[in-house]
Amino acid sequence: MNRQEARARAVSLVDQMTIEEKASQLMYNAPAIPRLGVPEYNWWNEGLHGVARGGTATMFPQAIGLAATFDTDLLERVGDCVSTEGRARYNEMSKRDDRDIYKGLTFWSPNINIFRDPRWGRGHETYGEDPFLSGSLGVSFIHGIEGKGAFKKAAACAKHFAVHSGPEAIRHSFDAKVSKKDMEETYLPAFERCVKEGGVEAVMGAYNRVNGEASCASKVLLKDILRDGWGFEGHVVSDCWALRDIHENHNITKTAEESAKLALEMGCDLNCGCTYGKLMSAVEQGLVTEEYITQSCVRLFTTRFLLGLFDETEYDHLGWLDVATKEHEALAHRAARESIVLLKNDGILPLKTESIHTIGVIGPNANSRKALIGNYHGTAQRYVTVLEGIQNAMSDDVRVLYSEGCHLWKNNVEPLSKPTKADRLAEAMTVCDYSDVVVLVVGLDETLEGEEGDTGNSDASGDKKDLQFPSPQRRLMRSVLDCGKPVIVVNMTGSAMDLRLADEKAAAVLQVWYPGARGGEDVADILLGNVSPSGKLPVTFYRDTEDLPPFENYSMKNRTYRYFTGTPLYPFGYGLTYGKLDVVNATIDDTKCVHVTVSNPFNTPTSDVLQVYIKDEDSTFAVLHPTLCGFRRVSLNPGETYEAEISIGECAFTSVNNEGIRDIYGKNFTLYVGFSQPDERSHELTKQEVIKIPYHI
């Protein structure tokens, strides 16, 4: 069903409703209208990396891990899995007249905010710091969610529009000040692509203000840019209880009725929260006219008709046996394996088990299920921790010893030199003494980094104060890394941490994010060489927060790889493999298509991510450093050669002036083709060449 037909049916249905009935449908928990055959519908569902919060589902790596795959095909398949399992759940629950929260087909995912600062607790819900990568992966995920059938299999939602990335503690009253240049250059591009290329059905506003306007009631964002500028035809939903912030925290209005009026007239169609419960009161006070209520109601029912909620669809056969299938679990394994980033390797990896008799597995995340799942997660049928993955993978000839070593974060305020009564440091060092090699598994979980109100680190409300590991882990790391045995550090976090000590002293360092329910199996496969690591960092790993501007400052100056003037510990786009692919030749034709010859001269099957960066050599408005403009996953067997073609979009040649006007200002460009950034740090770490391609418009 096309949008025109769906809208016509929506108009016909809404015309039969009273104003009270129409107003009721603008709430996320829309009640039934029995006389018109309209069942109740709860719009709130989540599918960030698998169907979330509603029960059993396939659980993929957290979104930041999916970003590290640099794999658009994978993201579309993940989105397709989410909508298949979501539709199956909807069918089964509807049969039993269960239409409650997390049972619908409107998924409030993906989160395509820019992860501009590593302290932001929700950054691991995003696709990283780069607008091009975020937009590319977001579009693919949306295509997977919504499908290509006669009806949408589910509806995706791009959030949080548009300038939103912490701080969590003050998000309900915070005003993000952003320049016109940063807005167009960094904060808007991924959303624009998700609207124009992805055809996303919904857009969610944010809690904070942007340049003085509440995001969920912003004329600039919702009317001037989203509707009038980009031609968005779907519906807009508020973040949950964000409309209440307009009068209670932002103090833009004085009453709930005034907030409802402002949001509705600016184009917020659906209220996750309670404020639109005051719509009829606003009507009685003469603040809101029926015209605006009707407009939003039509938009919402257009979505419901596009989903086929009043029709027979090609998805009606989906049921419980289509949830968490073997095929879906295999896809989750693929995602986890592609997401793991090898940051350092002195040659110890892959492990040579024939010369190992005892492996020590130490650390608070080694046997933690919470460290597998990130946030906004579902319930898996089976979990495999890193410890269990290593135990299962080892032959009977190899002994696996385990010590938790320390708590994840308790007693974090104590000095490093003061162990606690519950400390297991002595046990951990005993394990080190008896081990040939040690796997040290550290990091965070959803209780330490995440959304305000959902985490246990109440002082930071889900954000991190710095890049330091909690003090018990720092004490453990320092001791284990000095134990005299080879140590492999496995970091399970959704964001950059201070890994300087690990980089200095560990034999190898792996960033495995929150790898999904059975991610321990995939970590073991990487350690043993059953799979070569191929993930790339979708964020910069800085040395310290001292290298960064204040968290509350939304200027992009000295933030992310595109503007950072310092030397990162590990750069954006960086990641090692066990083999090595070579870029033999690269050219660009008149259609702006880059042709790349890649070879595998070694005896190891290898996957890697081919990356193309562009630099405007003329314009003073150009981004400071070469910027990602294309990428392609490449997998080659020994001796194999591959010819890759990567089309470079017209937008890559544009820059943004200080008034926020995007145009092609330069004529001379350089493109860089390789398996990393063209910066010195990447070259130093990867020892791989990057080919320069001059290009003149």
588 Ramachandran zone, left/alpha/beta (phi>0; psi -120 to 50): beta
From the list 316, 274, 268, the residue with the least C-alpha distance to 296 is 268
Q: Measured on CA atoms in the order 562, 567, 568, 570, is the torsion positive or negative? A: positive
Q: Are 532 and 478 in contact (CB under 8 A)?
A: no
In this structure, the number of other CB atoms found within 10 A of the CB of residue 36 comes to: 11
- The catalytic position among 239, 445, 616, 679 is 239
Q: Is 199 helix (H, G, I), strand (E, B) or coil?
A: coil
What are the two backbone dihedrals, phi and then psi, of residue 538, each rounded to the nearest 5 degrees? Answer: -90, 5
Residue where the block lists tokens 């080190």: 432
Please say if 80 is a catalytic residue.
no
Cα 470 from Cα 415, distance rounded (Å): 11
Tell me the two tokens of residue 498.
């201070």
- Give the DSSP per-residue string, 457-489: -TTTTTS-SSSPPPHHHHHHHHHHHTSSS-EEE
Cα 361 from Cα 439, distance rounded (Å): 5
582-588 β-sheet, strand order? 582-588, 593-599, 641-647
**Residue 427 burial by Cβ neighbours in a 10 Å radius (0-12, 13-18, 19+):** middle
- Give the DSSP per-residue string, 52-102: BSSSB---PPPHHHHHHTT-HHHHHHHHHHHHHHHHHHHHHHHHTT---TT
From the list 299, 323, 283, the residue with the least C-alpha distance to 50 is 323
Residues listed for the chain:
697
**Residue 640 burial by Cβ neighbours in a 10 Å radius (0-12, 13-18, 19+):** middle
Cα 166 from Cα 546, distance rounded (Å): 18
Q: Are 131 and 67 in contact (CB under 8 A)?
A: no
Cα 279 from Cα 662, distance rounded (Å): 39
Q: In 530-592, where does DSSP find H-type helix?
A: 560-563
Catalytic residues: 239
